[in-house]
Amino acid sequence: MDPLTLGALGFVVLIIMVMMGIHIVFATALTGFFGIAMLKGWGVAVNIAGIIPHSTASSYLFSVLPMFILIGFFAHSSGMVGSAFRAARAWMGWMPGGLSIATVLAAAGFGAVSGASQATAAVFARIAIPELLKFKYNPSISAAAVAASSTLASLIPPSAALVVYGAIVEQSIGRLLLAGFIPGVFSALLYAALLFVRFSVNPSLGEPIRGVPWRERGASLGGIIPIVLVMVLILGGMSTGWTTPTEAGASGAFIVFAYALLRRRLSFSALNNSLVETAKLTVMIFSTFWGVFIFARFLAFTRLPTEIAEWIVALPYPSTMILLMILVGYAFLGMFMSASGMMLLTLPVIFPAVVELGINPILFGILVIKMVEIGLITPPVGLNVYVVGGIRPDIPLHDIFKSIWPFVVIDVLTVALLIMFPQIVLFLPELVMGAGS
């Protein structure tokens, strides 16, 4: 069989297997293994399948992932989420929609210590929504604010999704993490501005919180110090060249661990659970890497990605229009798949075309993550909305989806601004490059 035809057939088989519910690690590994065997023989297929797991697990590049995951589990055990929310409420509650704005800012802060979007949605659905409803905030807008703001964890470093992207396309993890910071903060501020305007126009959606004493406000700042330290350590360490991303992640995990110990919130069982869950999630991600890298090697033998790249580049459209079509496809896939699974499945095919079009790989990575965020909150399968709805079944899902659309509009506007003004993304990485790091 012609290699290109075999590659196309392998991709179709892979999609069918994923749609049947077969885990992506098995679908990619099996398709890639048998595809290589048909092209190069069983000996080559066995050798590749045996080498890739070791080369992946032993790569220093991937050691950043368990560090970032561990930060998130320690942060959850330490009560850091509640502290961040209380501080944001004390300082922002007096504004129109202040408590919902506090939710957005606290979620952004938690995103600085955890890169898991669905986990952030689950935590804030339990912590923020009861507080919002206590002060008679509109239930559906409250739930929508939680679902939308939880997507910021995918962009604000430390972000596991950006690490996965960098690993697949072989781009600098440090530059990607730095590139995600300004767009993440920018998105959070736009969400906050949306809520401020909406509650200013219609104050009946939720009354401001009055009379918070300055003493309480000052005391609340202590709860966000560990978050600030982790952000400064990770971004500052990488931007100055003092630390690699892995070293920054390990130092951040130590800070959160020490904070949890000082607060006496980390029992032996919580520590054991954090370590075990980190190991489980790391193994799951690494296993997915193994399968996808075997499949990517198969595609390389068929030259299918090269042919697709040449076809896309030859389309009689401007590169910006082609980029928009690719991003719309990612937004659609984001409704059904996790960020890592979607990128692992598509980037081996799409990324060569992106390079040929002359699109900056760092900028493209941030745009892909933003489109994934949009997919996480748009119907029919907005995963974050379903997470919030599952925890708060008293708030109808269709009401949450109706209230989520203004946030989707803000995200689309953000993507448009990032495309028009790429320096929003590239400023920090270029600053680092100018410093010789």
Q: What is the pLDDT of residue 435?
A: 44
pLDDT at 389 over 80: yes
Residue 245 maps to a domain: yes
Q: Is residue 26 included in any domain, yes or no? A: no
Structural domain for 232, as ranges: 59-266+303-434
Residue 40 lies in a domain: no
Task: Assess if residue 285 is contained within a domain.
Answer: no
What's residue 191's pLDDT? 93
End-to-end C-alpha distance for the chain, whole angstroms: 48
**Length of the chain (residues):** 437
pLDDT for residue 391 is more than 80: yes
From the list 293, 285, 346, 288, the residue with the least C-alpha distance to 32 is 293
Q: What is the pLDDT of residue 421?
A: 93
CB atoms within 10 A of CB 432: 20
Please indicate, yes or no, if residue 366 is contained in any of the structural domains. Answer: yes
pLDDT in tens, 347-379: 888 888 888 888 899 999 999 988 888 888 887
In a domain, 289, yes or no: no
**Buried/exposed 387-425: b ≥16 CB within 10 Å, e otherwise:** bbbebbeebebebbbebbebbbebbeebbeebbeebebb
| Number of domains within the chain | 1
- The answer to whether the CB of 147 falls within 8 A of the CB of 379 is no
Q: pLDDT by residue (tens digit) across 299-355?
A: 878 877 777 777 777 778 888 888 888 888 887 776 666 676 677 778 888 888 888
Cα–Cα distance between 206 and 52 in angstroms, integer?
55
180-196 pLDDT, tens per residue? 889 988 999 999 999 99
What is the identity of the amino acid at 95? M
Q: Is the pLDDT of residue 27 over 90?
A: no
The answer to whether residue 35 is domain-embedded is: no
Of all residues in the chain, what percent carry a pLDDT higher than 70?
93
Residues 256/114, Cβ–Cβ less than 8 Å: no
**Tens-digit pLDDT profile for residues 124-145:** 788 788 888 887 889 999 999 9
77 in Cβ contact with 71 (< 8 Å): no
CA distances from 7 to 299, 304, 336 (A): 6, 6, 24
Amino acid at 173: I
pLDDT of residue 380: 66
pTM of the prediction? 0.77
Phi, psi angles (nearest 5°) of residue 330: -65, -40
